[in-house]
Structure formats: C-alpha cells, structure tokens
Amino acid sequence: MFATLSDRLTATFRSLRGKGRLSEADVDATIREIRRALLDADVAVPVVRQFTGAIRERALGAEVSQALNPGQQVVKIVNEELIAVLGGETRRLQFAKNPPTVVLLAGLQGAGKTTLAGKLARWLREQGHTPLLVACDLQRPNAVTQLKVVGERAGVPVFAPHPGAQGEADDTADPVPVARAGVEFAREKQHDIVIVDTAGRLGVDEVLMKQAADIRDATRPDEILFVLDAMIGQDAVTTAQAFQEGVGFTGVVLTKLDGDARGGAALSVRGVTGKPVMFASTGEKLEDFEPFHPDRMASRILDMGDILTLIEQAEKAFDAEQAEKMAAKLAADEDFTLEDFLAQMSALKNMGSMKSLLKMLPGMGEIRQQLENFDERELDRVEAIVQSMTPLERRQPRILNGSRRARIARGSGTQVSDVNQLVERFGEAQKMMRAMRRGGNIPGMPPGMAGLPGLGGGKKGRGKSAPPPRKGKAKSGNPAKRAQQEREAAARREGGPAAPAPKGGAFGLGGARQGPDPADLQLPPGFDKFLK
C-alpha cells in the first residue's frame, strides 16, 4: 500500500547523501518533496502541516548542523516524526478486571468487520484466550451465516440466536437483545472475551449511529474498535470523525493494507481523532492479521525493513526441536541433505507469502519490480521435484544419474533441465554449508574476509578460495641477502658448495669494515666492549 509513498521518500533522501552540510535551501527542498509525497498519498492536510513543520524545525536546528552525516540525521528525524504521527507506541487491548472483556466492532459496510472479527478471535485464541463471537449484524443478508463460517474456520464458537436477514436486507430486527444475551452467555460458559459484530451501512446515517450507541449502552464494552478501510483515502477522516462524535471508539483497526491504494488513512486517522491504530489486516486469510506497531510501520514506509516482525513470524513457523536437530547435525559435521531442504521449505511456506517476507528486508524497495514479478509457484515446483525422489536420493543426490532424473521429472511434471538446475544449486548450497561449518571462506567471498571475527579462517578448515601456503624459504627483501640466497640456490642446483656470504654492513655493502678502526679512537675505559 505504501509503495508509492516509500519510493517518493526514498528518492528524496537519496539527494541528501554525501552532503557534509545542509543549507536552509536544501532543507526547504526536502520538506517540499515530503509534503508533495504525503498529499499525493491522500494524507489529511492538517496532519501534513504538523508533520512537515516539526521536521523543518528540527532539521534547521543544531541536531542536524552538528551531525557528522546530516543526510542520515534528516532520515532519522523523519523516521521519529513518522512514528509519532502513527501513534508513537504500540497500543494493547485493555482487558476487564472481571471477565468477560467485551470488544465492540463498528464501521461502515464493506470495511471488512465480519472477517476481521474472525481474525481477531483467532489471534486471541492463539494468545491463550477463549473468545466468543456474537452475531449482531441482523440487517445484511447472510451476515450471520458468514460469521458462523468465519468462526468455524477460526476455531471459535459463535453465539447467533437470531438467523438475521436471509434473502434481502431487514431493518426491523433488533440486535440489542442479542448483544445483551451474548454477554450473559459468555459469562455463563466462562468465555473471557466477547467480540460483538455489528451492522454497517453504505454511509454514515443516524440509524446506524443510534443502533451502535444502543449496543454500546447494553453491553458496556471495554474496547470499541473502529474498523476502517485503508483504501478509502480522504473519506477516512470524515468517517472517523462522525463515528467519534456519534458512538466513540478507543482504537482503530485498519483493513485491506495489502491493497494498492495510497494509504493516507493510516497516517491521517491518528492525527485527526487522537485514537491509536491497534491492529492491521494485511490479507484475505485469517492469519493475515497483526498488531499495529508504529515504529515498524514507519520503517517499512522508509524502506528500512521490518526485521522484528520477520523474526516473530519465523518463531511461529519454525519448530524449535527441528532447529535443534539441524544445529546438532551441523555440529556433527554431517551434510545438509534434500530432506533437510524440504523441511526448511515447508516451514518457510508456513510463514506466508514469499513476496511479503522479502519486502520486510531493508532496501527491498529498490528491487520492488523484481519482487512483483517473482512467481510463488516456483517453490511448489521445487517441492514437487524433491518429493518425487526416493529417501536415498534425497540423502545422497550424487547417485542421481540420467534415468533417475528422467523419472523424477516425469513424477513432478517438470523437465529434466529443471531437475538438473535444482541439483546443481543444491550442490553449491552444500559447499557453502561445509565452508561455514569448517570455519573457512564461503565460495565467492574475498579471501581477506576469512580473518574477520565470526567468519572462521586460520589453519584448520582452509577454504578453497584461501591462498595456498608458501613452500620453501621466503626471499629476503635485502638486496645483499637475496643475492646470497640466489647464489646458494644456484650452487645447490649445480651440486657444489654454497658460496659463503660476504661480510658487510647492515645495508649489504661487502668488503672490509668501513670507517675508522675502533683501536685508533680515544674511548672511555670499558666502552670498547660495546663495539665487539
């Protein structure tokens, strides 16, 4: 969503690189480009004014003028101010002292409240809670049925005593008794969290506000989350203000962050309403849901990556026991096999889309076009090739002859050339793993890198790219000594005795001692011993 804004900001900061001092004109030009980028991203004008004003004030102060790298200091200031605009700190759910905790979802129709209810319930269940979904959207056709399906997929029970509208919209059903009964049901069945899904409308009207306010008064929710479609642009500000005045809310949930809209809603709603963004929906699947971290989102916008989120996803996907077995295998000097490769690929696929994972790495904005052209099905083809092998072939790829490779290609629905490429790339990966395990150089790494801390090197496990040890005695840099070494080497080749080295001075001058005889000098008694 923030691709365009990220590209604009990155290009603006690129012009500041290499400048040892920033003039006021440089700062004004940078602020002007940032303002244009934010306005093009549909960020609210008051938020843009406050944001650029804070950056200009800090950029013209001693904070930048005394910095060793002013360009990087400006980027740091923009990052900090962007975090402040997005909320500053991560806002957590406030749980009731006496369960159940009631969470009321409100928003416009089409914002994705029902699907988000299932995502939130699934996320809370993974955190160890026992949530209950309450179907209070009785006006939209089949809304109750949709919530039941979402709840079943999320593994969360749904309280739905009223069937709701079936064929066409029904404005006569009253959701207030259903909401009140749902809270009592949760208290009886000891559910610690109740998520109430309310109805939405195509626009902000008095009926919607009155109904949402009545549900609020009947359930006394601990959290009221305003579900906001991040793709509606400037209308997000108007909608958020209307809900704030009519119902009130404690936090915002942004949906459809995986879309291609400009993303100004995410940057505007916090500055306009003063309420924090608490969660973000980043896809259509139930697992595409995460807490909103302002610092991480700011890093993504500035193309600095989101390593912490990547680590958290890896911790969920990778099995700790399997990781320990892999570490023990490497410590025992055992080779990395295709079976290990298949297990690692399966864990990687559990983390989500490869494109989304790569976008969390710093600097990936520069190759965004290549990432968009990446075919996710390539991983499926590789997995099919490995699964078409026998267990022995996975452990010992060197036995893969022509007939075996043809059989594997037929079994996986690929070409023999695809199998050959996979085996060749895997062979290179095995070499790299051996080099890293033995403390040598990784193939292709400059030889001088081997001596760096943590990269091994030394006498043991010398890598292939390391220079071979010298044989024989090294030649001296002294011209006289080198001449003597050459005469000795020539004498050895001819089989004769080596010529004695001429006695000379420290600089290789042969012949007799140069200078006066020490016996002719008038030296203090006992000083002559220092000349022997």
Q: What is the pLDDT of residue 318?
A: 62
Q: What is the pLDDT of residue 316?
A: 66
- Per the CB < 8 A criterion, the answer to whether 47 and 268 are in contact is yes
Would the annotation count 213 as a binding residue?
Answer: no
Would the annotation count 510 as a binding residue?
Answer: no
DSSP secondary structure letters along 424-440: HHHHHHHHHHHHHHTT-
Q: What is the pLDDT of residues 80-131, one digit of tens each?
A: 888 888 887 788 888 888 889 999 998 877 778 889 999 999 999 988 899 9
Q: What is the pLDDT of residue 33?
A: 85
Would the annotation count 517 as a binding residue?
Answer: no
Q: What is the CA radius of gyration of the chain?
A: 36
Would the annotation count 235 as a binding residue?
Answer: no
Rounded Cα distance between 410 and 431, Å, is 28
Residue 201 has pLDDT above 70, yes or no: no
Would the annotation count 198 as a binding residue?
Answer: yes
Would the annotation count 257 as a binding residue?
Answer: yes
pTM of the model: 0.61
Instruction: Give me the domains of the chain, ranges plus CATH numbers.
Output: 3-86 (1.20.120.140), 101-303 (3.40.50.300), 312-366+374-437 (1.10.260.30)
Rounded Cα distance between 46 and 57, Å, is 17
Q: In terms of residues, how long is the chain?
A: 532
Nearest one of 291, 306, 287 to 253, comparing CA atoms: 291
Would the annotation count 201 as a binding residue?
Answer: yes
How far apart, in Å, are the Cα atoms of 353 and each of 279, 283, 323, 358?
20, 10, 21, 9
Q: What is the pLDDT of residues 283-316, one digit of tens each?
A: 788 888 888 888 887 777 776 665 666 666 666 6
Which tokens in the block code for residue 487? 């005469």
Q: Determine if residue 263 is left, alpha or beta; phi over 0 gives left, psi from -120 to 50 gives alpha, anything else beta.
A: left
Kindly state the average pLDDT of the residues 459-479. 49
Phi/psi for 363 (5° steps) reads 80, 5
Confidence of residue 466 (pLDDT cuts 50, 70, 90): very low
Would the annotation count 114 as a binding residue?
Answer: yes
Would the annotation count 256 as a binding residue?
Answer: yes
**Helix, strand, coil % over all residues of the chain, rounded to 5:** 55, 10, 40
- Per the CB < 8 A criterion, the answer to whether 414 and 381 are in contact is yes
Greater pLDDT, 81 or 404: 404
Would the annotation count 112 as a binding residue?
Answer: yes
Would the annotation count 109 as a binding residue?
Answer: yes
Would the annotation count 108 as a binding residue?
Answer: yes
Residue 503 has pLDDT above 60, yes or no: no
Residue 63 has pLDDT above 90, yes or no: no
Would the annotation count 414 as a binding residue?
Answer: no
Residue 432 has pLDDT above 70, yes or no: yes
